[in-house]
Amino acid sequence: MDAVVEYKQLGKTDTRVPAIGQGTMGIGGYFTEDSIRDDAYLDALKLGIECGMTLIDTAEAYGAGHSEKLVGRAVKDCRKDVFIATKVSPEHLTCDSVLKSAEGSLSRLQTDYIDLYQIHLPNPTVPLEETLRAMEKLIIDGKIRYVGVSNFSLKQLKAANRMFRDGIASTQIEYNLFDRTAEADIIPYCEQEGISIFAYSPLDQGRISSGSNQTRVMQEIAKKYNKTIAQIALKWLVSKPSVIAIPKAASTNHIKENASATDFGLAEEDIELISRTSTQPGISIPTDRIKVDRNGLDKFVPSPGELARDIRSGDTLKPIRVVKSKDPSGKYDYDLVEGKVRYWLWIMAHSGKIPIRALVR
């Protein structure tokens, strides 16, 4: 494929990576191994590489490590041409555990170095200094090249960037036309400090547009450039200097579509029009008006109770996502669709007395 590939500098490093890479959440399973579609996923990863999306983001948690195995197999014959980013899980952030996890990832990836090693989620029960000390050792030993974080609040990101000798190269956050909350704090800070932003779920898991007016605008702009709405959405994201998008795709058409999302220019007036029509203001909802269960909370590390300490100390919280409730009893106004852990840690931090910020589908 002859798509023009746009490259961006990774943080303050001298390394350049594609503005659009490949995400792998769900490839090889979500949090348990699923090998049923291995051949299809291998073909997808290889096609993405051929199309110029030579940045691949994975994690030891994805498919309980199986995602890393698939990435390793996909890049076996072109390792030096691919930038591999993976993540260490929050339950493995002590110094010894980080070192052990890195060795596990290296083995599954069939490589002797990881380009970008990221903390998947913050864990307040382990001092950040200890985790970063392990990362420093991995750099000295030549096992990783750069360090990044994922799902960190602005306060946590500032602390990591301040503590680490060479600064943090990147932070990974959810960022798309529906969820633009990072524009208030994280994105300006990253632009100021020279930190790259890896935008996961850049197409909002396939939904892209969140309202009829926005859909109409996106359709008109897509027609103007002879592109798809998904390509316009990706181009809008990476038009921001610090943003790199990592969509997941498994079909040939979607892979080629993603890869061609940077081979055209998007006029400034169209970027501004998309920004104006995709504004999704959050609202504050009393916690007892949201229908939420507790299923799976006991398996989450760190627990909501442990995370609540940071919220009580003034840290910010990403909005939860809700939909209008269909509960016939009228007891609830909304049903939770994403952010169960955040909901319960907010309850624990404020005893259920303070409304929680939410984005409404």
Catalytic positions are 62
The values of phi and psi at residue 263, to 5°, are -95, 25
Return the residue matching tokens 């909501």: 304
Question: Does residue 210 sit in helix, strand or coil?
Answer: coil
Both tokens assigned to 277? 């029509």
Q: Which among 56, 23, 138, 145 has a CA at the least distance from the CA of 92?
A: 138
| Residues 317, 302 contacting (CB under 8 angstroms) | no
The values of phi and psi at residue 114, to 5°, are -110, 130
Question: Does residue 167 sit in helix, strand or coil?
Answer: coil
| Residues 83, 17 contacting (CB under 8 angstroms) | yes
Distance, in Å, from the CA atom of 16 to the CA atom of 110, rounded to the nearest integer, reads 23
Sign of CA dihedral 120, 121, 125, 131: positive
| Residues 41, 70 contacting (CB under 8 angstroms) | yes
The values of phi and psi at residue 69, to 5°, are -60, -40
Distance, in Å, from the CA atom of 140 to the CA atom of 128, rounded to the nearest integer, reads 18
DSSP, residue by residue, 254-271: HHHHHHTTTSS---HHHH
Q: Which residues of 18-55 are buried (b: 16+ CB within 10 A; e: fewer)?
A: bbbbbbbbbbbbeeeebeebeeebbebbbbbbebbbbb
Distance, in Å, from the CA atom of 291 to the CA atom of 23, rounded to the nearest integer, reads 31
